[in-house]
Amino acid sequence: MPSQEIGLPIPNIPHAVSVTLPTWEATVGYEEGEDWVVSKMITGYPRFFIHAVIKTLSQKIESKYGREGERCMIFPSYKVAKRCREFIKSKSDLEGLFVRVLQLSTPPPADEEEKSTIIQSTIGVVFFPASQFPLAKNYWQHSGEGISSRMGEYVLKALFNNIDSTRSPSPPSNNQLGATRQEVQAQRIQQKSPSISASFRSSSMVAHEEVEKEFNTFIEQKYGRVLDLKFAKEAKIALRRRISGKVDKSHSQKEEMEKARRGKNVSETDVYLFPSGMASIFFSHHALLKISTEGPKKSVCFGFPYVDTLNILKKFGPGVHFLGLGDDNSLDELEEKLESGEFNIMALFCECPSNPLLKTPDLKRLRSLADKYRFAIVIDETVGNFLNIHVLPFADIVASSLTKVFSGDSNVMAGSIVLNPSSPLYPSLKQFFDEEYEDLFWAEDALWLERNSRDFAERAAKIDQTSLKVVKLLQDSPLISKVYHPYIGSTRPYYEAIKTPNGGYGGLMSFLFHNPDHAVHFFNAVNLHKGPSLGTNFTLACPYAILAHYQELDEVAKWEVDRNLIRISIGLEDPEELLDVLQKSLDIASSS
């Protein structure tokens, strides 16, 4: 059964992406820092909650290399650490602030055999006065460029323990496995097509049996994914080909994925991998600021976006014009201000569709304005995903969070950028990426993501089909006042204009109740996983505005984001069981 225990990782493994906030009250308590919630938080979404293993690594580095009164933040390169240092110094009110950067490296493999378990890695460590930690944490959150928990775990072992401890425990022998081999196989089948009752039987099993670190590692490898670091380069090539549409059919990709090509001119060399989806947004903005021939200019954020996209545009560079409604009237306003000269912009950022209101912008009209007034368009296609929609012709840069449905397993953070070879900015962008891009995507994370994404097409199709059934259930309920989904609403024609021939409408939806109390009762009663993130193989719900915008609920209401909004990301459960769970919760809300 989905866990309803505050702070438990979702799934219950060491490198989980989501975390359980099982009630409306617990979500509010988390946002207000109440001890009854915060004290139980084992983990959290990785950009907002620094993983325990990274905290331990930070403490050890502070103890060994820090000076009195200093704290540190760890990044996967010296160059990223310098960007963090610049951010802290530019935003701090402290005069004469001294921020320093230290570079540390782990040992390389000694021979060919060790390449399977040992990889040389470099980290950049930013040291700053303890009072400046909130600013350093802001950079970590907004940029998405922090080290992953797997990288932190590896570096911790390599720098502060015997290097042999970096090797993963050997898989159990046949005698040790016994019936476990059958259980693991059954769990893998359940994970790919779980029922509500069975989808997290493995989680409770892990919680019960998670006795030692060796077993934790085995649980992550229970699907036959024994990680061999020497294959990380090949894994990244496979990922870039998968994203570009140049699919290797030997990996059992479906015909639909082959058809959903980015475009005949897109090469795998136009695809760049990042440690998180937000890092891809951040680096897109960073690149455009650097290549601007007229100097840095403001950008436009078109439509209400995920919170840190707007934070990046506000806090890095000269600022942002926010057209938060993202509708046709907003487009009219944009065109008028471009024509009058009031707006002289570097770029326009938008989501397709947007999160959480699932609006699709008029990309054709936006592209026409971009060509006329010579600004870049960056499209975040995470919610739609490139199997469902084809946005590259309208974009100079396409950014995605691969953490979501591309991975599905909620156990790895990743992002990507695709450059459009037909863009007028392509030559300058390509040159900048060739000179400045760093591959910061940790080897183990790449191996996990490559395996997770092999059945991306099949999973996405099933999620799309189930989602339409859930949308209908919500629309038919007399309790629900509004449902947000690309299949319905005024912007559906714009979605249809970019939908691929075999594409669907995605698994994300939001909805409102006529009575806000019903929203609380429904959420508390619904027997689903509840926490941050989306695109997971299991259905995941959250009170979105409370979770993402608790400190600015009145402000976001101006952009039609209601404080009582519930967001659900549909998973791979049996559709009828999922509908039954939702209906029972609606019935409970109705009788409350």
- Summarised one tens digit per residue, pLDDT across range 236-246 is 999 999 999 86
Of residues 269, 288, 472, the one with CA closest to residue 375: 288
SS3 content of the chain, % helix, strand, coil (to 5): 45, 15, 40
Q: How far apart are CA 395 and CA 302, in angstroms?
A: 14
φ, ψ of residue 187 in degrees (nearest 5): -65, -35
Averaged over 494-516, what is the pLDDT?
Answer: 97
- List of domains in the chain: 52-166 (3.10.28), 234-454 (3.40.640.10), 457-591 (3.90.1150.10)
Mean model confidence pLDDT for the chain: 88
Q: How far apart are CA 384 and CA 498, in angstroms?
A: 10
Averaged over 22-47, what is the pLDDT?
Answer: 95
Q: What is the pTM of this model?
A: 0.88
Of residues 166, 59, 172, 152, the one with CA closest to residue 119: 166
Tokens of 183: 């259980």
- Summarised one tens digit per residue, pLDDT across range 96-116 is 899 999 999 999 999 999 999
- Summarised one tens digit per residue, pLDDT across range 376-422 is 999 999 999 999 999 999 999 999 999 999 999 999 999 999 999 99
DSSP character at residue 130: G
Q: How far apart are CA 150 and CA 14, in angstroms?
A: 9
